[in-house]
């Protein structure tokens, strides 16, 4: 087989054995080129919506003669995804499609924040129209603390892809401070505000100097300062606000809030459907016509009921008291009753035709609310994904439809590292120019760290590691799902904090075999040739389409295996693209001119071809920094610095290579497993002795 002429680019870090292999195979070899230095201004070519940093283009010296051809005029795969919340509501109401939404409050601790974001991902799978995050005036809610209302809401939008409403109160805040919070919320991608007066921090309400006394004033201020940018929600009280002069007077205040610019209403919790029906009828009589969502509280414990009733100053109906009092010390029995009571209430509300959707007060607990929604038939885990990767709900990412495959299992990290981009790839990734990825040093951030505590990670990954083979077994147990010698199932790895993707099951046996022999896989996908977009395992995008994938394999392995792999890859030169890199940045690749390689694409009725994931050689250099660092940051630091376990992880970090392989012939059987088998065979051959007859070392 003919090979291209070798192209050797400058490298700061030399690796003689790999360099020799690369030259023999005619492979491009480079380190970090001066023009692509991480300390230099990084640019991307202009795309359909410009480069990630278009203001840098003039100084880049890069002339793109194909700007027009790189633009993608096709609409997004999910045109409703980035519509305004009130427009989503309007469409649902017109179609008669009921929805649900969920309320959460900021946790008190950093670990609580980790758990809450995990709950967002879990409950987001059920299909809420939106979530909302409460505002606690005494808890520094507008700060950058990981437990603040602002950060939790921003994380839900940017990293969990959830339509999110941020509560905002008048309590203990002046006009300028409130305006500052609103500007910050807008900058972070929050598009919806629930405007409240707020509960007093002490016994009596105290208006801040230069602040607002009523929610109506806050609504007016938002509209005055921000026009129509925010969708605004306000609170309604089915039995009247406890501080109001009368039920009728409170309704007039509600009408003022709506007239000032509120788009919809969420009510305080109540226990009987008639209470809500009376409230909606009364609202209609005085001219309130916006959507009114009932607030539902599934009773979960005696204590939580008492606390919520105390805060809301509500009276619990006697028939509920009669059931709960005898079982007040039995949380399970109360929770079961609460589920039954909430299901019955919701069924009555939905049957009335007066309710467009249901809003649940979760108290940051998932079980009761999820069970109620499942019994109502409203929990709709849609198996088909809009794109193969987790999307963000930030408005500036609305056109994004292409990402490098390397972050497939760490989408929150990718979003974090690209948060400063002004615009995002749409239609195609672009030619060999460098995206400006931010450095990732904040592994401690609650939305980037593992949700499992240290003690659990040690049980999964080993209290003590005896050798590199101990690490191999951790990977194998993650893939097999079988308990390890501690009787613990390995449910995550540093590169993937979630259970295995469904499509991994299509390659499970092959993955197990190679991991046990030191090919430590962190990302993979099978080849797919025209599966329906509705396929429950590999499908994505709108219905009626077909999806395609090239087989992809990404793994860490030792130097000896890489040496053998390079010999084997000569046989597959035109079929397999590859990229091999060590922690220092020494690279070997046969990617032509460092061009990105589309590895996932879809064809859908009435649309252009969508190619949402690519293997981009330049982005791979930024990913490798993160991938190698995770050995130490997430795994090695579990152990004492001088411990044998820490030394083993550090050795792997320092000496192993990160490899990715792409089989371009997707209609044929995946050849990557044969590549690996050929590599193992070569490794296991007896060594040649001096004087042996020369023969081709390739299999």
Residues with Cβ within 8 Å of 350's Cβ and at least 6 positions away in sequence, in order, are 98, 358, 376
On whether the CB atoms of residues 209 and 172 are closer than 8 A, the answer is no
Residue 450: CB atoms within 10 Å: 19
| Strand 192-196, strand 164-169: pairing | parallel
Residues with Cβ within 8 Å of 661's Cβ and at least 6 positions away in sequence, in order, are 552, 553, 554, 576, 577, 578, 672, 675
Out of 24, 80, 87, 103, which one is annotated catalytic? Answer: 103
CA-CA distances (angstroms) from residue 367 to 4, 48, 372, 519, 646?
59, 43, 9, 39, 39
Site of tokens 């509500």: 314
Q: Helices (H) and strands (E) in the chain — how many of each?
A: 21, 19
On whether the CB atoms of residues 379 and 368 are closer than 8 A, the answer is no
Q: CA-based Rg of the chain, rounded to a whole angstrom?
A: 29
Site of tokens 């919340």: 85
Please report, in angstroms and rounded to a whole number, the separation of the first and last CA atoms in the chain. Answer: 14
| Tokens (6 digits) for 626 | 């993160």
The C-alpha atoms of residue 512 and residue 519 are separated, in whole angstroms, by: 9
The C-alpha atoms of residue 533 and residue 539 are separated, in whole angstroms, by: 4
The secondary structure element, H or E, covering residue 492 is: none
The C-alpha atoms of residue 158 and residue 166 are separated, in whole angstroms, by: 14
On whether the CB atoms of residues 60 and 433 are closer than 8 A, the answer is yes
The C-alpha atoms of residue 393 and residue 158 are separated, in whole angstroms, by: 6
| Strand 610-615, strand 403-404: pairing | parallel
Q: Residue 658: phi, psi to the nearest 5?
A: -100, 130
Residue 491: CB atoms within 10 Å: 16
The C-alpha atoms of residue 288 and residue 257 are separated, in whole angstroms, by: 10
- Going 408 to 412 to 416 to 422, the CA torsion angle's sign is positive
Residues with Cβ within 8 Å of 381's Cβ and at least 6 positions away in sequence, in order, are 125, 126, 127
Please name which of 188, 124, 120 lies closest in space to residue 150, comparing C-alpha atoms.
Answer: 188
On whether the CB atoms of residues 549 and 515 are closer than 8 A, the answer is no
| Tokens (6 digits) for 339 | 């589920």
Question: Is residue 462 left, alpha or beta, with left meaning phi > 0 and alpha meaning psi from -120 to 50?
Answer: left
On whether the CB atoms of residues 612 and 402 are closer than 8 A, the answer is yes
Q: In sequence order, what are the beta bridge partners of 663? A: 551, 576
DSSP 431: S
CA-CA distances (angstroms) from residue 131 to 81, 105, 566?
15, 11, 51
Q: What angle do CA 477, 478, 479 make, to 5 degrees?
A: 90
Residues with Cβ within 8 Å of 180's Cβ and at least 6 positions away in sequence, in order, are 142
DSSP 493: B
Is-catalytic flag, 103? yes
Residues that are catalytic: 103
């Amino acid at each position: 087989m003919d090979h291209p002429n070798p192209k050797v680019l400058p490298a700061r870090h030399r690796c003689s054995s790999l360099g020799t292999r690369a030259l023999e195979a005619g492979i491009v070899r480079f380190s970090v080129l001066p023009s692509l230095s991480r300390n230099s201004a990084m640019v991307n070519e202009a795309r359909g919506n410009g480069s990630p940093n278009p203001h840098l283009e003039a100084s880049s010296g890069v002339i793109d003669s194909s700007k027009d051809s790189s633009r993608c005029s096709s609409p997004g795969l999910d045109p409703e995804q980035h519509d305004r919340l009130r427009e989503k509501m309007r469409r649902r109401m017109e179609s008669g499609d009921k929805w649900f939404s969920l309320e959460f409050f900021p946790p008190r601790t950093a670990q609580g924040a980790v758990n809450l974001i995990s709950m967002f991902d879990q409950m987001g799978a059920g299909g809420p129209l939106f979530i909302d995050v409460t505002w606690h005036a005494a808890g520094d809610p507008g700060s950058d603390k990981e437990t603040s209302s602002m950060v939790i809401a921003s994380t839900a939008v940017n990293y969990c892809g959830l339509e999110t409403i941020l509560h905002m109160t008048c309590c203990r805040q002046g006009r300028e401070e409130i305006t500052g919070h609103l500007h910050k919320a807008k900058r972070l991608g929050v598009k919806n505000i629930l405007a409240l007066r707020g509960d007093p921090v002490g016994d009596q309400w105290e208006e801040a100097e230069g602040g607002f006394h009523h929610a109506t004033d806050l609504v007016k201020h938002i509209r005055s300062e921000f026009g129509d940018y925010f969708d605004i929600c306000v609170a309604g009280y089915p039995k009247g606000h406890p501080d109001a002069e009368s039920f009728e007077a409170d309704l007039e205040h509600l009408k003022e809030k709506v007239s000032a610019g509120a788009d919809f209403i969420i009510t305080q919790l109540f226990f009987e459907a008639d209470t809500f029906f009376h409230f909606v009828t009364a609202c209609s009589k005085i001219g309130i016509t916006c959507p009114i969502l009932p607030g539902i509280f599934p009773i979960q414990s005696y204590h939580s009921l008492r606390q919520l009733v105390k805060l809301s100053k509500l009276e619990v109906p006697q028939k509920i008291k009669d059931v709960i009092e005898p079982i007040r010390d039995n949380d399970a029995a109360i929770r079961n009753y609460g589920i039954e009571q909430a299901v019955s209430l919701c069924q009555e509300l939905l049957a009335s035709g007066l309710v467009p959707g249901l809003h649940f007060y979760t108290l940051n607990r998932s079980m009761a609310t999820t069970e109620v929604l499942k019994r109502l038939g409203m929990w709709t885990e849609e198996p088909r994904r809009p794109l193969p990767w987790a999307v963000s709900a930030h408005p500036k990412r609305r056109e994004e439809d292409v990402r490098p495959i390397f972050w497939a299992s760490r989408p929150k990290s990718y979003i974090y590292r690209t948060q400063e981009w002004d615009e995002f790839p749409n239609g195609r990734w672009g030619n060999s120019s460098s995206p400006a990825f931010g450095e990732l040093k904040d592994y401690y951030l609650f939305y980037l760290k593992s949700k499992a505590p240290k003690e659990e990670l040690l049980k999964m990954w080993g209290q003590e590691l005896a050798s590199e083979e101990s690490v191999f077994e951790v990977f194998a147990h993650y893939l097999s799902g079988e308990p390890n010698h501690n009787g613990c199932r390995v449910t995550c790895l540093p590169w993937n904090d979630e259970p295995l993707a469904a499509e991994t099951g299509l390659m499970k046996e092959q993955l197990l075999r190679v991991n046990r022999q030191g090919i430590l896989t962190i990302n993979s996908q099978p080849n797919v040739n025209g599966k329906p977009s509705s396929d429950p395992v590999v499908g994505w995008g709108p219905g009626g389409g077909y999806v395609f994938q090239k087989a992809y394999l990404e793994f860490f392995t030792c130097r000896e295996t890489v040496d053998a792999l390079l010999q084997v890859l000569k046989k597959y030169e035109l079929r397999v693209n590859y990229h091999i890199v060590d922690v220092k940045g020494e690279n070997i690749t046969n990617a032509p001119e460092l061009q990105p390689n589309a590895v996932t694409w879809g064809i859908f009725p009435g649309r252009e071809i969508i190619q949402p994931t690519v293997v981009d050689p330049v982005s791979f250099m930024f990913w490798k920094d993160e991938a190698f660092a995770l050995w130490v940051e997430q795994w090695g630091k579990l152990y004492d610095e001088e411990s044998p376990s820490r030394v083993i992880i550090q050795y792997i970090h320092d000496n192993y290579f990160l490899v990715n392989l792409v089989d371009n012939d997707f209609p044929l059987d995946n050849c990557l497993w044969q590549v690996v088998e050929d590599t193992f065979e070569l490794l296991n051959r007896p060594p040649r002795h001096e004087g042996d007859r020369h023969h081709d070392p390739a299999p």
